[in-house]
């Protein structure tokens, strides 16, 4: 597809199978956890206890090197599903779909059939990057007052756990579009590993139990959610086996009938019914507001194939997601701001100071200019020019800190150190997304970030289907930020809420992959990807160490969020400049792959965040 062209991949059914209109034929492959280890027995979906073994091929390791392909995700079972597909001759796209489906089983509070995401693909044969926008959309009846009641914005918690916050799911359509364009295997085949995990079960870890406990109060209010995730009214036990037969059946149905089962069929009807009549326990006092989703919304859903954002940095080409996500524009703008500073020679204090200030500026500009381009005039190209970045970079001083909230600049008319109008504050985004990164033996690469927004999404499980619905529409601004301040992220009919997801692929001067990565974390995704990239590219950290480094996240706020572990002297130096910090125990959970000489790949994941990630390769080497 020509760059610069936006193509909506419309979905329609033929003989019960969903078809993507205008898509190319399938391509051939080119030659912090709660330390609770309670051992009480449970019932329902809880089964026999498994014990981890050092010889378990699914045991988590944060880095792996080898040939014939690599997978990195937050979960060992999911990474193993992708490796299984690669071993059987599938390409990176096939493996990414299989890994994502498995994450829908083992990371059900972060992703799944009921959510959406963004898919970035590097085609080794054509040396080109393509992206899919599989973001959820608001119902056709939604307007700017979607979350306004009695003239006031709803409290976030009321919108989160409701039908109002649920957008039309985009994940199954994204799998379909990716496979139609670039895959080599059928969806039915690729769902089999996930279906098997759902039927046979996976081992509960401390993170899964902790996330369940954090949601226990609202899960208890929905019988289908409580039955699945709180069997017998109890939390899942660390080390036990968790099964989800309803989700296994859902995957089997999607494999047999195609994703039309969701967008035109029985699964979709169940979703619509659940959104519009949230099945609250009659004995609960929770008011779960109904949504207004229809089968027309599902039938009209389309994945968008977009030109990626592109930024030049240190002679490399950085590709990511264009709006509706702000990830590509914000990471790209910040990199352009940092381009003029030699970060490799800077002290750690100066490096982090510059990184924090570039993040602050990028978020100021994102808040004013980025929304769904189908509804808003988004100056994507201008946000990524070096001229605009230079006009903003001159605000940064080495001996002082910018004051937040910082007003935006004007990318269409850059003025040195110029600002325009009033600042738009950063809207809240749920932080429990997931990211996976895959490479294959032909050199194809996928960076895929997918989500159901908050940890546990809406909290509402579709009865009999085994998956939780998203609350992605709460990523919209509930009301204008300030009188007279334009807000491109208000709700609208069929509109995609702004996201921060930033799946990123970096190419070298020969258009070959150097590194690919991404992270969950809501709005902190942008700062996590930016910090990991600069740590790897500028500070010469090994990829796994760039991922593990203590993170800072500045999002045009008075305080910068900071993880523990930063050298106290560095923190003192930053505070002496005027930085103010707010402690955050855990920011993001990144994964990545790196191309090595001789046809090898390195897969990297977290060492500790979310209990550690899982890096795997097809044929390990030293």
Report the range of poorest mean pLDDT among 186-195, 293-302, 419-428, 577-586: 419-428
Residue 135 lies in a domain: no
Query: Comparing C-alpha atoms, which of 205, 97, 211 is closest to residue 457?
Result: 211
**Which structural domain range is residue 347 located in?**
305-429+496-517+525-594
Q: Write down the pLDDT at residue 103.
A: 98
What is the DSSP track for 585-598? S-----EEEEE-GG
pTM (global) more than 0.85: yes
pLDDT band at 431 (very low <50, low <70, confident <90, very high): low
Residue 595, sorted as left (phi over 0), alpha (psi -120 to 50) or beta, turns out to be beta
8-state DSSP, 461? B
Query: Comparing C-alpha atoms, which of 64, 74, 66, 100 is closest to residue 85?
Result: 100
Residue 404 lies in a domain: yes
Active-site amino acid positions? 433
- Checking if the pLDDT of 382 tops 80, the result is yes
Q: Which two tokens stand for residue 159?
A: 């919108």
Averaged pLDDT, 399-421: 90
Q: Write down the pLDDT at residue 25.
A: 33
In a 10 Å sphere around its CB, with 0-12 CB exposed, 13-18 middle and 19+ buried, how is residue 555 labelled?
A: buried
Q: Write down the pLDDT at residue 350.
A: 98
Query: Comparing C-alpha atoms, which of 120, 103, 110, 33 is closest to residue 433?
Result: 110
pLDDT band at 18 (very low <50, low <70, confident <90, very high): very low
- Checking if the pLDDT of 22 tops 70, the result is no
Q: Write down the pLDDT at residue 485.
A: 75
Position with higher pLDDT, 30 vs 473: 473
The string of pLDDT tens digits covering residues 100-120 is: 999 999 999 999 999 999 999
Residue 170 lies in a domain: no
Residue with tokens 């106290």: 568
Averaged pLDDT, 10-34: 32
The string of pLDDT tens digits covering residues 23-36 is: 333 333 333 333 34
Residue 375 lies in a domain: yes
Strands 433-440 and 128-134, sheet pairing: unpaired
At residue 273, what are phi and psi to the nearest 5 degrees? -60, -40
The string of pLDDT tens digits covering residues 476-504 is: 999 887 777 789 999 999 999 999 999 99
Residue 569 lies in a domain: yes
Query: Comparing C-alpha atoms, which of 322, 388, 392, 390 is closest to residue 361?
Result: 392
Alpha carbon distances (Å) from 274 to 156, 265, 279, 288, 467: 20, 15, 7, 11, 12
Strands 116-123 and 309-313, sheet pairing: unpaired
- Checking if the pLDDT of 12 tops 60, the result is no
Residue 349 lies in a domain: yes
Q: Write down the pLDDT at residue 413.
A: 95
Q: Write down the pLDDT at residue 458.
A: 97
In a 10 Å sphere around its CB, with 0-12 CB exposed, 13-18 middle and 19+ buried, how is residue 333 labelled?
A: buried
- 278 close to 162: Cβ distance less than 8 angstroms: yes
**CATH number of the domain where residue 367 is located:** 1.10.246.130
The string of pLDDT tens digits covering residues 216-227 is: 999 999 999 999
Q: Write down the pLDDT at residue 428.
A: 63
Q: Which helix (H) or strand (E) holds 186?
A: none
Q: Write down the pLDDT at residue 376.
A: 97
- 235 close to 213: Cβ distance less than 8 angstroms: yes
How many structural domains does the chain have? 1
8-state DSSP, 610? G
**Residue 499, strand partner residues:** 325
The overall average pLDDT reported for the chain is: 90
Residue 3 lies in a domain: no
Residue 243 lies in a domain: no
User: How many angstroms from the chain centroid is the CA of residue 256?
Assistant: 27
Alpha helices of 538-583 — where are they, by DSSP H?
A: 543-548, 568-577
The string of pLDDT tens digits covering residues 514-554 is: 999 999 999 999 999 999 999 999 999 999 999 999 999 99
Query: Comparing C-alpha atoms, which of 211, 201, 192 is closest to residue 101?
Result: 192
């Amino acid at each position: 597809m020509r760059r610069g062209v936006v193509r909506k991949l419309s979905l329609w059914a033929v003989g019960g199978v969903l078809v993507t209109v205008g898509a190319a034929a399938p391509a051939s492959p080119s030659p912090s956890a709660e330390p609770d280890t309670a051992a009480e027995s449970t019932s329902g979906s809880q089964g026999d206890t498994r014990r981890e073994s050092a010889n378990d091929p699914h045991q988590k390791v944060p880095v792996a090197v080898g040939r014939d392909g690599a997978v990195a995700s937050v979960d060992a079972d999911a990474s193993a599903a992708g490796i299984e597909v690669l071993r059987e001759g599938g390409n990176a796209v096939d493996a990414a779909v299989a890994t994502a489906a498995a994450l829908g089983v083992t990371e059900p509070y972060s992703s799944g059939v009921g959510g959406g995401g963004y898919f970035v693909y590097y085609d080794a044969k054509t040396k080109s990057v393509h992206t899919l926008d599989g973001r959820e959309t608001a119902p056709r009846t939604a307007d700017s007052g979607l979350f306004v009641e009695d003239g006031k914005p709803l409290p976030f918690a009321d919108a989160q756990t409701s039908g109002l916050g649920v957008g039309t799911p985009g994940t199954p359509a994204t799998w379909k579009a990716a496979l139609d364009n670039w895959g080599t295997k059928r969806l039915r085949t690729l769902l089999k590993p996930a279906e098997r995990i759902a039927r046979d079960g996976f081992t509960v870890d401390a993170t899964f139990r902790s996330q369940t406990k954090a949601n226990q109060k609202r899960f208890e209010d929905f019988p289908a959610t409580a039955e699945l995730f709180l069997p017998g009214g109890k939390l899942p036990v660390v080390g036990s086996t968790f099964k989800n037969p309803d989700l296994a059946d859902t995957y089997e149905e999607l494999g047999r009938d195609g994703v039309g089962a969701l967008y035109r069929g029985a699964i979709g009807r169940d979703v619509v019914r659940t959104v519009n009549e949230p099945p609250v326990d009659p004995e609960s006092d929770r008011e779960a507001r109904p949504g207004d989703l229809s089968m027309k919304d599902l039938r009209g859903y389309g994945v968008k194939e977009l030109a990626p954002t592109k930024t030049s940095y240190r002679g490399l080409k950085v590709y990511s997601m264009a709006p509706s996500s702000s990830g590509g524009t914000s990471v790209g703008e910040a990199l352009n701001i940092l381009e003029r500073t030699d970060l490799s020679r800077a002290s750690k204090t100066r490096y982090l100071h510059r990184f924090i200030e570039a993040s602050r500026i990028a978020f100021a500009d994102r808040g004013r200019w980025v929304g769904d381009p189908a509804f808003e005039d988004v100056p994507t190209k201008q946000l990524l020019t070096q001229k605009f970045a230079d006009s903003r970079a001159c605000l940064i001083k080495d001996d002082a800190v910018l004051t937040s909230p910082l007003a935006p600049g004007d990318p269409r008319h850059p003025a040195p150190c110029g600002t325009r109008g009033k600042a738009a504050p950063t809207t809240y985004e749920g932080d429990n997304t997931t990211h996976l990164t895959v490479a294959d033996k032909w050199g194809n690469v996928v960076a895929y970030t997918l989500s159901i927004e908050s940890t546990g999404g809406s909290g509402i499980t579709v009865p009999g289907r085994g998956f939780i619905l998203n609350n992605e529409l709460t990523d919209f601004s509930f009301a204008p930020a300030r009188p007279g301040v334009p807000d491109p992220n208000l709700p609208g009919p069929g509109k995609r809420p702004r996201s921060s997801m930033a799946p990123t692929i970096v190419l070298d001067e020969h258009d070959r992959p150097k590194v690919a990565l991404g992270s969950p974390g809501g709005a902190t995704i942008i700062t996590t990807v930016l910090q990991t990239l600069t740590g790897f590219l500028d500070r010469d950290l090994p990829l796994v160490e760039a991922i593990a480094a203590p993170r800072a996240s500045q999002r045009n706020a008075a305080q910068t969020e900071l993880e523990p572990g930063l050298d106290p002297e560095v923190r003192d130096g930053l505070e002496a400049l005027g930085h103010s910090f707010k402690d955050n125990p855990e920011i993001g959970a990144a994964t990545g792959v790196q191309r090595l000489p001789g046809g090898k790949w390195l897969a990297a994941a977290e060492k500790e965040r979310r209990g550690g990630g899982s890096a795997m390769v097809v044929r390990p080497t030293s």
